[in-house]
Amino acid sequence: MAEGEQGVKKEEEEGQVVNPWEVSAGKGGIDYDKLVDQFGCQRLDAALVDRVARLTGRPPHVFLRRGLFFAHRDFSDILDLYEKGEKFYLYTGRGPSSEALHLGHLIPFMFTKYLQEAFKVPLVIQLTDDEKFYWKNLTVEESKRLAHENAKDIIACGFDVDRTFIFTDFGYVGGAFYENMAKVARCVTYNKAVGIFGFSPEDHIGKCSFPPVQAVPSFPSSFPHLFPGKDQLRCLIPCAIDQDPYFRMTRDVAPRIGYQKPSLIESRFFPALQGENTKMSASDANSAIYVTDSTKEIKTKVNKYAFSGGQDSIELHRKLGANLDVDVPIKYLNFFLEDDDELEHIKKEYKEGRMLTGEVKQRLIAVLSELVARHQRARAQVTDEMVDAFMAVRPLPKMFS
């Protein structure tokens, strides 16, 4: 099968399901080594991380140096081009199914902002309001409204308006973008789409028609106002690994329609408060920390719901220490505590029983409260006019400067 194409049936048989619409772990949590083998992507090793630091002249992002972005497809090719003085562009996105983003939603945008600043390259951000209309039983109007609200949270991450184009599918799809969708669609049989995405006979045809929509922002000709005459410009896509099936399909099709394969850099999943065997859900506010949460709400959620790897009693904890592999506060600190030395100190003390669960949770509450408050301040400054500016179909003359 091209590009490591695997059906969802095999994943189900082996105890975990990972696709763009469902993520469920086996008994031991997500097996990322198995995912890499199943999907046919590559491990992102220390040599690549060191190379990023050398080429950009800045320390690698915490998500890189701690292995949270852990897999890739042809990322080394992007670095080869950059080292030769050639350009590329970034593409990421969001399916706007809820008004408020949780911290897991921020991960790709925080990392993409770093990539944009480090490499000084343009970025396109797709808001798939049509996808959520198909999958979440929302009205068109509600899907569009949520996309607009989510755009404000994305802009609040600090993207450069001179290098960033944000678009919604309902607002932008047409012209050259639609032409590329048609080219992709003609190359993918229904049987192949079922093998990649697991569509069933009960799914409506809107779902089956969607994959080309997410595929074609990988091709610069989909944005003639940005990249005229640059049809072979390479694209790098930062995303969570559950989005990989879209781009396995895209990479298989790209050479057949005259385009370069997009490269990917892929992250682990951000766990729910209750642990890696559960999923953050918009229907369960206590499964995640949202960017709209108050400090009091963050404190309550962490203290009450964050799954602990500590022991049942202080005496036992002092003797046995904590199980860091299942401890959610440690996993969250791994994402958001910048200081490597402090993180290692906390892990060591907690694992050996000298630090208690309550102390680790208190540090996490402080870190998350600061992060969320900072985001809320930035979000409050984003106006409808700023959203319009990011979404305006316009050239970006300073995008590579």
DSSP H or E segment with residue 143: helix 140-155
DSSP H or E segment with residue 241: none
**Is residue 8 over pLDDT 90?**
no
- What sign results for the dihedral spanned by CA atoms 137, 141, 146, 147? positive
Helix (H, G, I), strand (E, B) or coil at 23: strand
* Predicted pLDDT of residue 11: 46
Cα–Cα distances (Å) from 72 to 105, 154, 295, 308, in that order, read 19, 23, 36, 31
* Predicted pLDDT of residue 158: 97
Average of per-residue pLDDT across 33-52 = 94
pTM over the 0.75 mark:
yes
Long-range contact set of residues 394-398: C-beta below 8 Å, sequence gap at least 24 = 394/165, 394/225, 395/225, 395/226, 396/122, 396/162, 396/163, 396/164, 396/165, 396/226, 398/162, 398/163
Among 267, 135, 230, 251, residue whose Cα is nearest residue 188: 251
* Predicted pLDDT of residue 279: 61
- Domain 15-271: CATH class, spelled out: alpha beta
Q: Fold for domain 293-378?
A: Tyrosyl-Transfer RNA Synthetase (1.10.240)
Confidence bin at 282 (pLDDT 50/70/90): low
Distance CA 327, CA 307 (A): 6
Cβ 83 vs Cβ 75: under 8 Å: no
Average of per-residue pLDDT across 143-156 = 97
pLDDT in tens, 41-50: 999 999 999 9
What tokens does 123 get? 């970025």
Distance CA 133, CA 206 (A): 9
Cα–Cα distances (Å) from 29 to 17, 67, 175, 265, 399, in that order, read 11, 17, 44, 21, 41
* Predicted pLDDT of residue 227: 98
Average of per-residue pLDDT across 88-107 = 94
* Predicted pLDDT of residue 27: 72
What tokens does 108 get? 């790709």
Confidence bin at 20 (pLDDT 50/70/90): confident
Cα–Cα distances (Å) from 225 to 184, 229, 230, 393, 394, in that order, read 21, 10, 11, 7, 6
Tell me the sheet residues that pair with 93.
Answer: 126
Cβ 247 vs Cβ 237: under 8 Å: yes
Confidence bin at 305 (pLDDT 50/70/90): very high
Domain borders along the chain are 15-271, 293-378
197 burial type by CB count under 10 A (0-12 exposed, 13-18 middle, 19+ buried) = buried
* Predicted pLDDT of residue 238: 98
Average of per-residue pLDDT across 297-326 = 95
Confidence bin at 283 (pLDDT 50/70/90): low
Helix (H, G, I), strand (E, B) or coil at 117: helix
pLDDT in tens, 168-215: 999 999 999 999 999 999 999 999 999 999 999 999 999 999 999 999
pLDDT in tens, 267-281: 999 999 998 766 676
